[in-house]
């Protein structure tokens, strides 16, 4: 594997309920890309998938310096929430992309970032159990990391049912904070020297901290605990 090379796959909700967050998603994504372009350590590639009634792949494994920003045409919320299909499709397609690479060219770390404001309601190809099994397989066999970022969600059951350990929640007003946490985590991996295990530990330690901080701020804002988020 290529040392200090992290691949980040975004799986972003584009359903109708995300309309009020359109500008924040576009701006937040741009900020992550700009910040990662400025990091001098290591390398980063990005994949982007969107889900609503179905799933759309925007690009796969592009160097962060060559990534296109989102805009009002490429991110246009509408429709329902095929989240399971979005995650399952992304895992399968990224897996095939990696299988076609030489071992020395493969990223040292794969981070999946799932961003949504609602519950699954329209998947046709992947069940929740199937996606949970896929996530577990990638985590245990290939050391992939999955990060779930929910907006205006007060019950963690959807992410818990998928077996995702790193879960962060915020209000719609704070969507940009979700993207800043992603960038911080990726930078931590790229900027840490040492073995793959050392870098992964630094990244997940920060990930834990970022999720706890985000959840505490959200719970304070809504005046109650996020349900099922043990």
Q: Which of 149, 215, 180 is nearest to 11 (CA)?
A: 149
pLDDT in tens, 142-165: 999 999 999 999 999 999 999 999
Residue 230 lies in a domain: no
User: Does the pLDDT value for residue 123 go beyond 90?
Assistant: yes
Residue 229 lies in a domain: no
Say how far apart CA 212 and CA 218 lie, in whole Å.
10
With beta carbons less than 8 A apart as the criterion, state whether 88 and 132 touch: no
Quote the pLDDT of residue 177.
81
pLDDT tier at 169 (50, 70, 90 boundaries)? very high
User: Does the pLDDT value for residue 33 go beyond 90?
Assistant: yes
pLDDT in tens, 52-88: 999 999 999 999 999 999 999 999 999 999 999 999 9
pLDDT tier at 19 (50, 70, 90 boundaries)? very high
- The residue segments making up the domain with residue 25 are 2-222
User: Does the pLDDT value for residue 10 go beyond 90?
Assistant: yes
Residue 68 phi/psi, 5° resolution?
-85, 140
Say how far apart CA 32 and CA 181 lie, in whole Å.
9
Residue 228 lies in a domain: no
Provide the 10 A C-beta neighbour count for residue 120. Answer: 22
User: Does the pLDDT value for residue 218 go beyond 90?
Assistant: yes
Read off the tokens for 185: 């985590």
Q: Give the residue-averaged pLDDT of 78-105.
A: 97
Read off the tokens for 109: 């770390």
43: CATH: 3.40.50.410
User: Does the pLDDT value for residue 220 go beyond 90?
Assistant: yes
- Indicate the range of 13-17, 147-151, 152-156, 173-177 predicted with least confidence: 173-177
Say how far apart CA 49 and CA 83 lie, in whole Å.
11
Read off the tokens for 130: 């199937």
The average confidence (pLDDT) of the chain is 96
Residue 109 lies in a domain: yes
Residue 204 lies in a domain: yes
Residue 140 lies in a domain: yes
Number of domains in the chain: 1
User: Does the pLDDT value for residue 176 go beyond 90?
Assistant: no
Say how far apart CA 202 and CA 191 lie, in whole Å.
10
Read off the tokens for 110: 């794969």
Quote the pLDDT of residue 230.
78
Q: Which of 8, 3, 12, 2 is nearest to 111 (CA)?
A: 8
Residue 194 lies in a domain: yes
Quote the pLDDT of residue 178.
87
Residue 227 lies in a domain: no
């Amino acid at each position: 594997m290529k040392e200090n090379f992290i691949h980040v796959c975004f799986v972003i909700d584009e359903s109708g309920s995300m309309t009020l967050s359109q500008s924040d998603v576009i701006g937040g994504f741009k900020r992550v890309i700009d910040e990662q372009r400025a990091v001098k350590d290591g390398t980063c590639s990005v994949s982007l998938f969107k889900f609503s009634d179905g799933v759309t792949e925007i690009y796969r494994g592009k160097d962060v310096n060559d990534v296109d920003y989102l805009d009002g045409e490429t991110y246009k919320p509408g429709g329902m929430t095929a989240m399971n299909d979005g995650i399952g499709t992304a895992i399968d397609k990224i897996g095939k992309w990696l299988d076609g690479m030489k071992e020395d060219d493969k990223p040292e770390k794969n981070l999946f970032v799932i961003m949504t404001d609602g519950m699954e309601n329209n998947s046709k190809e992947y069940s929740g159990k199937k996606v949970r099994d896929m996530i577990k397989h990638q985590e245990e066999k290939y050391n992939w990391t999955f990060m779930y970022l929910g907006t205006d969600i007060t019950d963690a059951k959807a992410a818990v049912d998928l077996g995702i350990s790193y879960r962060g929640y915020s209000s719609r007003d704070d969507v940009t904070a979700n993207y800043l946490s992603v960038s911080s985590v990726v930078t931590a991996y790229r900027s840490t020297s040492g073995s793959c295990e050392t870098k992964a530990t630094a990244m997940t330690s920060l990930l834990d901290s970022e999720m706890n901080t985000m959840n505490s701020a959200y719970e304070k804002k809504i005046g109650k605990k996020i349900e099922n988020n043990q």
